[in-house]
Structures are given as C-alpha cells and as structure tokens.
Structure 1
Amino acid sequence: MRRIHLLLLACLAIFVTAYGQKTTRVNAVKANDYGIVYSLPKTSFEIKLLVKKTTYQRGDFYQYAQRYLGIEKPITESKSVYSVEDIKVANKGIADKTNSFMIEFRSNTLEPYVYLREDGVICSVNAQPEQATAQEMEVPPSTVPSSNPHRFFSEEILLAGSTAKQAELVSKQILQLRRSSNDILTGEAESMPPDGNAYKVVMEELNNQEKALTELFAGSVHTEYFIHAVSLTPDEKNITRKVVARFSEKLGPLDKDNLAGAPLYLSLESKTPKVDLPLSEKDRDRLEKKLTEGLVYNIPGKALLTIELNERKQSLDVDVVQYGTQDVLVKKMFDNFKQPIKVIFYPELGAIKQIIQ
C-alpha cells in the first residue's frame, strides 16, 4: 500500500495521551443507513504540579539534644512545607459536541467502519487506531517513617518520673545500641550472629532502634509526593496571565480564589494568523454542503503557552484546536469498495495523522 503522511503535528512540549479511554468499532451498515456520527475534539489543557510535602516533626526530648547527644541543631518546631518540583501540561482533547458530524458511506463499499472513543471522538476510519503511549508524570517514592520509638522503651524509662529523666535514660540506651553495633562490626560481641542473614537482621534492628530513639532528640523529616491537576479549556481568544490555581508553601495547592497562596498564571498566545475572507452566500452554501458530506477534520493552530509561579516561568509551543481551522476529505475518497482508504487521527487534536490507500 502507498502511505501518505498528511499532517505531522508538532506536539513536542506537551503530553499527548489517550487518558485511558476505550475505543469502540462502529460499522456502517444498513441499520444506520451507512452513516456514522462522530465528534471532533477541542483543546483542553491539564496543568499538573508535582508537589513535595516535607513534614518536620519535633522530638519529645529536643531540649536535651545538645546536652545528651551533642546534636547542635535539632528540629524545634513541627511543621509541613510544600514545594513544586515539576510542572507539566497535557492536552486532554475533550469532545466538542458543537462539532459533531456524520460520515456517510456507499452501500457497496467493503465493510466500512469507524473507531470512536467513549466520548464519541473519532480515532480512525477503516483502520485500527494507534495505541497512544501515556506519558505520566513520575512520582518519586515517599520516605518511610521510623518505627514508633516508645515501643523500644525499657520499663525503667516508662517509670521515670520526669521528661528530663526519661531523656537521660533514652540517651544511655542509644549509646548502648551504638556500642552493640560497633562490637558486632568489629567481631568483639559476646554473641555474634551465626550467619550472613542473621547478621543483616540484627544490624537492621539495631539501626532501626537507634534511629527511632535518636529522632526523639533530633526530630524527624518525612517527605511525600503527589500530583495536583487543574484544567483550562481556552476559546478562540488569547489568554494573558489568567490565574488557574494558587500555591502556598504552608498549605500546598489551593483553589484559584484562595488568596492565601501565590497565583499560578497561564498565558496562551496564538501564533496562527487569522484570515477572515468574506464569503458570498453561494460560497457559504457550498462550504456547508462540503462539511456535511465528507470527513471533517481539524487543522489546529500553533500557540505559545506560558506558566508562571513565583519566580518560576516556563514556555512551550503547543497545538490548539480553537486557534485553527477545519477541512474535509471528500466523500468520494471512501467509495472504493475493493481497497478502502484508511485514515488515522490524532484523537486529542482531531487532526489527520496518516492516510493509507
């Protein structure tokens, strides 16, 4: 077969994903008068923030950290701090129900069919749709909190009459754990682990106990990551520094109307010149007829998208359906009943990726 590459759109700087939508094959048969209704998508941007939450937990004995363990700067205040580690923009390509059409096939063509997404957006004609590879934002693993230190308290520590006495006894227990670890490492322990596996288990337990008890003086730091997403569907106009969300170091991601956070701005500037040609009534009728009889597809426009948050600013080139135009593959292209033409779309854009005939 001869392959014709009609459009190779540059969506290099954004995620283009199928968002897990299933596709369904719809056959053009007598029951539906050989006509299949489909929708074209419009661009909807999803801004994803990779957020890091760092939790600082003050230890019960922080006031005695320097005295008993020589820790110069223990954590003295329990708090959580949020930061944005990465920002990505994804084109969701949502169905535009105001742009729904019907493609009609001749009754004698060879088993014509169309693949549609669950929302009715066209994916392909007379061909299997290509499987989009979802490029998800990678979320780093969170740190594992230490064991509860109180479970390692001896009876003497539990019965101590004051916090100061408890701190003194716990510090001694920490020093004893360190001596035990050192004796095993140097082979001077009275009872050495019998084999390598036992050695590993014993050393891990000693280290875990020491870490958990030491955090009663030094404090602990725990980090976790999560993704916060907000969406925006542009119209045909440019967008200048629109607040789409807010972010606070103390509270994390916030709604755009919550003034407790710094604004996350989105700007979108069309790079596709608008050409307004006056059409006569005859030309308009001809265009309407053309759109109703063939296979309509999008030709997205180009735009510059900019995201700003505090001192952070990043720009990227994107394809925007709303800034573009539409065109039609004429109906007679699909009338070959021996070797039906195949059309594969970019489902998120409604643009033709490939024509095979």
Structure 2
Amino acid sequence: MKKSIFLISLLLSTASIYAQTKVTMGVTRGKDFGVVYALPKTEIKVEVKAVKVTYTPGEFGKYAEQYLRLNNVSITPEEHWELTGIKIQSIGVPDSLRTYFVKMKDKTVAPLMELTNDGIVRSINMPVSASKKRVLPKPLVQKKEKINPRTFMTEEILMATSTAKMAELVAKEIYNIRESKNALLRGQADNMPKDGEQLKLMLDNLDEQENAMTEMFSGTQKKEEKTFTFKITPNKDFKNTVLCRFSTKLGVVDVDNLAGEPIYFNLTDMKTISIPAEDKEKEVDGIAYNVPGKANISIFKNKKLLYEGEFPITQFGTIEYLAPALFNKRSTIKVLFNPITGGLVKVDQEENK
C-alpha cells in the first residue's frame, strides 16, 4: 500500500498563499504534477591495481659482471605481475524501493528541488550545480620516446668484429661518460658551461647516454599498470568472501580460476544505528532522508592485511523525515543532502521579508 506524506509547501506563491504539498512513496498514477526523487543505496567499489612487468635482457647481458661489475643480471626474458594497491569507495545508486513523489496541489508553487542525473535528491531551495567550480582538464603529458643506445656508439664500437669486443668498448664508453660528469661537477672540464642551467643540461644529456648504454648490459623493464574494478552491494555482512584471485604469472583473475591465490573481502556492520521495527500502519510526515550506518571493510591475501577502513552504508541505517513544522510562511528552509548517502549535510533557515 502506498503511504501519503503531507508537508507544508516549501516555497510561497507570489500571493503568499499557504498550501500543502503531498509526497507519495512508490510509483504514482494519474496526471498529478510534481517531483519524483529517490534516496540512494550504497554500493562498494573496489579497485585492485596491478602492474605487469616485462623484462627484456640486454644485448651484452652475459658480460655485465665482467665489464660493469653488475651482479645477478638475467639473460632470460621474464614477465610477471605485481599487486600494487587497493582503493575502496562507497557510491550511491538510486534505490528503487525508496522512491518518492512530491505532488503539488492547485495554486501552489513547487519547491526548488535539485536532483542528480540519476534522480537522487541533492538539495531543496539551494542550487548546488551552479556553484560548483569548473574542473579544468589536466594537460596531456607526452611520453618520452625510448632512446636507441646505438645512436651513442662510436665508429670504433660499431666496427668491432665480435660481440665481446663490442661489449668491452661500450663499457669503456660508459666509464668515459662517468669521468666527464665528475669533471663537470668538480669544475675541471675543458669546456665548462657558462651557467647552472647549461650545466644541468649537459649533465642530463650525459645521464641519458649512460643509462641507455648501461641498459645494453642490465636489460630493460617495461611496466604496464592495470586497474580491475569490482562492485559489491552490502545488504549483509561478508566474511572471508573471495573478491578475486591473484597470480604472479597471470595477474588478477576470476574467482573460479584456481591458478591464482584468493584475495578475501570482509564487511561487517558496525551497528552504529539502532533501527526501529517497521510499522506499516504508521503515517509519516516530511521529506525522507537517510541516516546511514557504518561498516568496517578489510581485505586480506595470505593473511596479510592489504586494506582496512570504515564506510557509510545506507542499508545499515534508517530513514527519517524533515518535520513539516520546519516549513512555514515566515521563513524558507534550505536543505543540502549528500547524494552518495542520502543523508543531511546541513539545514539553513532564511527569514522571509
């Protein structure tokens, strides 16, 4: 059965007519004029971030220890995944069971109700979207192209008759670059730069050459970050629920893929709100809003805590109503709601002149 909720009109007409506005819970019928709004329910959005690391051995990898004293340099290509982080946020989605219709009777003025694009109530008599600052797009950062170390090779290196000889000459070139950097830093170079900016530019170029040629021995690592998103509707507690699985070879995989180790999701109602027994015959007045509860969320892998935090959960809370006595012809009530939780953010009163 539908419940009718009566409240005083939130705005006065130009003739200062005092009127009532009718709010109906559920789906309405007929040709009544009014505003339909919804309260949100909570969804938990979990983002698991992982990095795919691809190692490519250097051309002179087997000579790394002999010429550059680099230990444990692998000459075998490798690919593996690393779990880098977990991010959790609560989001509000329209609750189809908490939909309301504000009906305007004849000769009344509708309240200024602002809704989100999903139809969730955002404010009453308090425009929010117009006051939001415009967020400028971030400038695109151009990715620097990888340098080909062969562009720094001398004629002697390129004319070498064997890989071993070429590796030896490249190593000598690396040592020469290091000596040049030390001479610049000590002020002993033959052609010293005129100022600090020119010195920095010269050192950066030498670092670039050294790193490119050193990678011919040490190899290179390419890292590719990926984000895997999971959504959970917390209508109950979750105890050691497998969120997904993680494999160092395959990355983040599905729950049923036993090639990965399980990542467990726990959600516990903290019971911060005492929820009264629902009285279906009780008549309620006012504009509905949520009083969200709280939940503790933790994520584990191999008994290692990866994440823990507290989040508001509307399903663990209750619904209250703004009293009709707040809305009278002597003042205008401005209400701001949290569109994620449906809870009250603030209520202001402005005296009418």
Answer whether TM exceeds 0.5 for this pair. Answer: yes
Residue aligning to 1:310: 302
* Match for residue 321 of structure 1 among 309, 314, 326: 314
Please state if 1:297 is matched with 2:289: yes
For 1:265-276, list aligned pairs within 5 A: 265-272=264-271
Distance, in Å, in 1 between the alignment partners of 2:244 and 2:190 is 62
- Which deviates more from structure 2 when the two are superposed, residues 65-74 or residues 111-120? 65-74
Q: Distance in 2 between matches of 1:340 and 1:84?
A: 53
Percent identity of paired positions between Structure 1 and Structure 2? 35
Question: What does 1:48-67 correspond to in 2, within 5 Å?
Answer: 48-67=47-66
State the 1:122 CA deviation: 0.6
Displacement, 1:214?
1.2
Structure 1 unmatched runs, 5+ = 1-27, 134-140
Q: Matched residues in 2 for 1:211 and 1:173: separation?
A: 12
Return the offset for 1:38: 0.4
The letter of the residue matching 2:296 is L
Contact 2:124 2:335 in 1 (8 A): yes
What secondary structure does 1:297 align onto?
Answer: strand
Which residue matches 2:198?
198
AA of the residue aligned to 1:181: K
Gaps of 5+ in 2: 1-20, 22-30, 134-140
Change (3 A) 1:109 1:185: same
Could you say if the C-alpha distance between residues 185 and 295 of structure 1 is closer, same or farther in structure 2, counting changes exceeding 3 Å?
A: closer
Name the residue aligned to 2:252: 253
User: Which of the numbers 333, 337, 341 marks the counterpart of 2:333?
Assistant: 341
Q: Deviations over 1:167-199 (max 9, x none)?
A: 122122222323333344444444444444433
Alignment of 1:31-180 (within 5 A): 35-105=34-104, 112-129=111-128, 147-180=147-180
Paired residue type of 1:232: I
Amino acid paired to 1:157: I
Q: 1:89 to 1:255 in 2, by over 3 A?
A: same
How far apart in 1 are the matches of 2:88 and 2:332?
37
The 1:352/1:109 distance shift into structure 2, 3 A limit, reads farther
Moved more, 87-96 or 220-229: 220-229
Distance apart, 1:37 and its partner CA: 0.2
> Equivalents in 1 of 2:105, 2:334: separation in Å?
15
> d(CA) in 2 for partners of 1:207 and 1:342?
61
Report if the CA contact (8 A) 2:34-2:110 is conserved: no
Tell me, yes or no, if the aligned pair for 1:268 and 1:305 is still in contact at 8 Å.
yes
Give the aligned residue type for 2:291: I
Q: Structure 1 residues 145 and 225 mapped into 2: Cα distance closer, same or farther (>3 Å)?
A: farther
What SS does the aligned partner of 1:320 have? strand
Please list the CA deviations of residues 125-166 of structure 1 after superposition, one character each: whole Å capped at 9, or x if unmatched: 111348899xxxxxxx9x978622122223443343432232
1:218 is matched with which residue?
A: 218
For 1:179, give the aligned amino acid: E
Provide the secondary structure at the position in 2 that maps to 1:268: strand
Taking structure 2 as the reference length, the TM-score comes to 0.74
1:39 deviates by 0.9
Rounded Cα–Cα distance in structure 2 between residues aligned with 1:166 and 1:342: 78
CA distance in 2, matches of 1:108, 1:38: 22
Deviates more, 1:206-215 or 1:77-86: 77-86
Alpha-carbon distance, 1:110 to partner: 6.0
Residues 286-339 of structure 1: per-residue CA shift (max 9 Å, x gap): 44xx3xx642222223333222223322433332212222233355644x2442
Q: Which of 1 and 2 has higher RCO (CA within 8 Å, sep 6+)?
A: 1
1:145–1:216 Cα change, 3 Å: farther
Partners of 1:111 and 1:35 in 2: how far apart? 7
**Count of residue pairs brought into register by the alignment:** 309
1:243 aligns with 2:242: yes
Q: C-alpha separation between the residues in 2 aligned to 1:59 and 1:325? A: 62
With normalisation by structure 1, the TM-score equals 0.73
The structural deviation recorded for 1:41 is 0.7
Tell me by how many angstroms 1:68 deviates: 1.7
CA distance in 2, matches of 1:186, 1:298: 68
After superposition, the Cα gap between the structure-2 partners of 1:297 and 1:189, relative to the gap in structure 1 and judged at 3 Å, is closer
In structure 2, the CA distance between the partners of 1:261 and 1:353, relative to structure 1 (3 Å rule), is same
Q: 1:194–1:267: structure 2 CA closer, same or farther, 3 Å change rule?
A: closer
User: Which sits farther off after the overlay, 205-214 or 299-308?
Assistant: 299-308
One-letter amino acid of the counterpart of residue 46, structure 1: K
- Structure 2 partner of 1:20: none
What is the letter of the counterpart of residue 319 of structure 1?
A: P
Partner Cα distance (2:324, 2:33) in 1: 13
Report the 3-state secondary structure (helix = DSSP H, G, I; strand = E; otherwise coil) of the residue aligned with 2:331.
coil
